[in-house]
Amino acid sequence: MEKLIEQFSLGLFFWQLLLFVVLVLILAKFAWKPILNSVNEREEGIKNALDEAENARIEMQSLNADNERILKEARAERESMLKEAREIKEKVIADAKEEAQVQANKMISQAQEAIESEKKAAMAELKGQVAGLSLDIAEKVVREELSNKDKQLKLVESMLGEATLN
């Protein structure tokens, strides 16, 4: 270090200092300014990209929230529609059962009426046949009994006896 101090020349120092200042000014004008401008532009671009990314993240959260809300609404609507469909199905089934019961009761009633009508007709026919057979039998019996005079008198007396008893 002593050797440097001994060989120190003020003129050389002045020229070196002057060249250094000129070099710094030239670098400041032609190199540092464009370098600093491009660094600042890059920094600004990165800052803008980060802001846009943050905005995109916030928008995505908003969209996700909207999607969740829409999905919940769709699920609720689907459940509502399914519930309504079940109610309609149950109502249709109940109506069909009721209609079937009404039809069955009507058919049973008509069948009972038809059976009763047929029964009355059969009874009337049976009574008519019994009456006809009874008349035929009575006619044959009376013919046979009336053919003989003694038997006629006995028959009249027995009938008169029964008539007084009844």
pLDDT, tens digit (0-9, with 9 covering 90-100), for 72-107: 999 999 999 999 999 999 999 999 999 999 999 999
Buried b (16+ CB within 10 A) or exposed e, 45-60: eeeeeeeeeeeeeeee
The C-alpha atoms of residue 129 and residue 141 are separated, in whole angstroms, by: 18
The two tokens of residue 59 are 């928008």
φ/ψ region of 53 (left if φ > 0, alpha if ψ in -120 to 50, else beta) reads alpha
3-state SS string for the chain: CHHHHHCCCHHHHHHHHHHHHHHHHHHHHHHHHHHHHHHHHHHHHHHHHHHHHHHHHHHHHHHHHHHHHHHHHHHHHHHHHHHHHHHHHHHHHHHHHHHHHHHHHHHHHHHHHHHHHHHHHHHHHHHHHHHHHHHHHHHHHHHHHHCCHHHHHHHHHHHHHHHHHC
Reported confidence tier of residue 145, pLDDT bands at 50, 70, 90: low
**Spatial CA neighbour of 144 closest among 152, 156, 154:** 152
**Most confident of the following: 6-10, 62-66, 134-138:** 62-66
User: Could you give the percent of the chain with pLDDT greater than 70?
Assistant: 92
**Mean pLDDT computed over every residue of the chain:** 86
- pLDDT: which is higher, 40 or 34: 40
Between residues 159 and 101, the one the model is more confident about: 101
pLDDT at 114 over 90: yes
